[in-house]
Structure 1
């Protein structure tokens, strides 16, 4: 059952000098439409679809977060490596770099492997006066 509003004609004449309010629409009953009992299966299907969409969005969102976490883990700095083989512990002085420390232990020859090993062990940690740094001998 449904209701439709339609304007009704005014039955009383308006007094002179007075403005009448707008007429109220008359209510007419129109047959048709579905009862709440007939709509129950439709509402159940709509709720089921809404739940399925919500679950799908949550699962996809969780997978995206997990994938983003995996990407972030690959972008993060690797775990510090340890220097293998014999080493010498050198104390850093003012103005020292890893290169000067490696050159102090190896006065001749290529010091790049020693610097790379120290970088792998220390990471991006800065060098400060008094730091004790392990420098590989070989």
Structure 2
């Protein structure tokens, strides 16, 4: 009798520990054949629906792409009328043997900081950090 009580107590504890489990009926052979024969696209034919947050994300990504495209591919001119501005004319200098950017900057703008003038020359002529070479023609700011 003592063994029967222990078995009953164990079965009760076991049943309460698995109360979250439910029996699911096994599909019949006809139901399995129908699932196999049905194309996968038919099961997922529901239309895509965006939540409010999803629409906001799509709009923000679209606007970010437009902004990035404008920054990367936009023109440097921001004239509202669309007219071309006055053509800029630059003075040009042919670099002589022994010339350096520092010396050219001091010659072009003797009263200004040579570092700022060198940077302006580099940007204007798309120069690398390597400097200039004799015979090279550069535009001056």
TM-score (norm 1): 0.37
Structure (1/2) with the larger helix percentage: 2
Larger CA Rg, structure 1 vs 2: 1
| Greater share of residues in strand | 1
